[in-house]
Amino acid sequence: MIKLYGSIGTILQKEGVLIVEEADRFYSVCMLRGYKDFLLERHDKRGPVFSIHYKHDFLTGYTTRIILAGEETHLTDVYFWDIASSIAFAWMFFEDVDFVQGRPYMGYILAHRPRKEE
């Protein structure tokens, strides 16, 4: 994503605009397309390892899963790309960045005036 925004920023004119349709990937990919609450992560001679969905923080984009390995349990945070990260990447290469929400968890990033060396 960083290379994409950087490359587009270099080829656009000074007043150029980049419009990107973006979605919260946890919600749109995981929740709508079969995210598994209970998942077999591995099974080998040491036995099975499972992960279970615990919670998701829409603000930070982190999903916490509980790992069950034998009698041990561990919490682990998993990160799915989110809208805020894409906006932050756009800020690296454009002077003006806005987000226009379309449907819930989806919208458009509007990046204007690429940052260019004068």
Tokens 């709508």 found at: 32
pTM: 0.61
**CA angle at residue 63 from 32 to 103, to 5 degrees?**
40
CA distances from 60 to 6, 8, 56, 80, 95 (A): 24, 27, 9, 10, 24
Average pLDDT over residues 27-41: 69
Mean pLDDT of the chain: 86
Q: Are 61 and 26 in contact (CB under 8 A)?
A: yes
Statement: residue 60 has pLDDT above 80 = no
Question: What pLDDT is recorded for position 56?
Answer: 83
User: H-type helices in 12-117, by residue range?
Assistant: 25, 83-93
pLDDT of residue 29: 57
Q: Does the pLDDT value for residue 11 go beyond 80? A: yes
Per-residue pLDDT of 40-56, as tens digits, reads 889 999 899 999 989 88
Q: Residue 97: its pLDDT value, please?
A: 97
Of 61, 81, 80, which is closest to residue 2 (Cα–Cα)? 81
Q: Which tens digit of pLDDT belongs to each residue from 14-29?
A: 999 999 998 877 666 5
When comparing pLDDT for 59 and 28, which is higher? 59
